[in-house]
Chain A
């Protein structure tokens, strides 16, 4: 009993420790002024109100959302059928797919963004400075999460037997996929999409180097106003944090 209570306190201690930065940021974003005193001098929601009236912030947030959602739509449209085709028709390609999806981890984002800058600055596809280059770039970031989650889900549901059963009951391969396979990998797909969404929303290196201020995303905006009020940037960080928390909650609800 004594040992159990001790372990509980250790866990609570760690949780409290991890919560300190978030709580401090929250408190800072709610404080009117917090300088030479231990506690803030008065609380206010002014920073959040200012945030909601800042057009530049709203546009940057909209850009981030648009790119993340667009990327995930593209990734879903491309990767769901691709993963199914690999698993059903060419299972031996799985090991090659695993190599392909891991390649992006082998090159640091700064290095690959320099390469992408050289490739797409001019030539037949001058995309640098446009959201299109981020769309393609972010697709490769979402790729491993989507492919692995979907491939594992297909394996887990016994895809071959389900397809055989559906075929014998008169379904074409397309209908078997739509009626049987897709609903059964929905949870894995949703989990992978929301995980990728959180990652993409927080991506900074590619966004800053490939597009910068020409199509400002949330993190580029945050970086550019770093020298202004700390209370204001804290409010942005907290807004982002709460938004991600809500998305995660929705993802958990949908995955049930």
Chain B
């Protein structure tokens, strides 16, 4: 039995289903990510768990207690919003203390707990500042502190880093994970960024079209996608149909063949492997992404950018060596 249990959860907006028959469990202290493209229903699912949006059918239980019909105030759930949703009329201290004040916690205890949590998120020097005096990263940390100070049973993070620049996003990702582990907090994170999901999560729930299409550890979901949707979303998988797989490898498959771009080796022309030609290349920093053509099939190949000399020009002839053990047949 899990700490959080979501069973047969469904939600429609009028005749349009948002998500259908969602089932998952998570253990106490686990960090899971709902990953998926925009409109897949992940944020609505999060809001249903928080009690902010009613669902049509199903059950949500925390620690065996059905909370599906309890108002958000009584669920013991903390949430960090994409927009921060900080109260502009309050200082950092007042924002953080708001939840405790609503719970009737005494002023002295409020002060102690708020100071402790602001220290944890490294904002103790900004307690008297108003929201408009803070940077984006600081605002997000206030939002996190505000959600944590009430000691929620579950913490929900709704795309909390999407409005931040890359550098602050990375440092906040590490900080969130550090705090989550330190407090052993059961956390659900929503994002459409697969890299962010892989960095943070114990488990990833990949959603598409209102359904969980795959779940598992970051490694499992990334290396063993069970569908074309998962393969497309988790990486830049090459998806070959039966005819292309037959042409390239002489394989007889009934579904589609997914090949990770980084599992293909690029060798000098004439070496052992399938002859190919570079159509064009993209420099992605530490990785060079080649679009190549082999036997009339276009593939993406990712190569580590070891040195400037290793960059191959467009039009160059090469040989490709595949690792069949990395091939994944997907539906």
Contacts and interface: CB of A to CB of B under 8 A. Distances in A.
Interface string B35-67: 000000000000000111000000000000000
Contacts of A164: 50, 52, 72, 79, 81, 85
B85 A169 contact: no
B98 A161 contact: no
Contact of B87 (A167, A168, A170, A184): A184
B73 A162 contact: no
A171 interface: yes
A184 B71 CA distance: 24
Considering residues B75, B78, B83, which has the most beta carbons from chain A within 10 angstroms of its beta carbon? B83
Contacts of B51: 167-168
A170 B101 CA distance: 9
Nearest to B81: A161
Contacts of B102: 166, 169-171, 175
A112 interface: no
Interface extent on A, as a size class? 10 to 19
Considering residues B51, B83, B88, B89, which has the most beta carbons from chain A within 10 angstroms of its beta carbon? B89
Contacts of A180: 87, 89
A222 B150 CA distance: 62
Interface residues of B, number: 24
Contacts of A121: none
A183 interface: yes
A170 B88 contact: no
B18 interface: no
A170 B103 contact: yes
A157 interface: yes
Given A180-B87, A184-B87, A184-B88, A170 B150 contact: yes
A169 B146 contact: yes
Nearest to B78: A168
Contacts of B71: 167
B88 A168 contact: no
Contact of B73 (A161, A172, A179, A184): A172
B88 A171 contact: no
Interface string A118-142: 0000000000000000000000000
Interface of B: 50-52, 71-73, 75, 77-79, 81, 83, 85-89, 98-99, 102-103, 146-147, 150
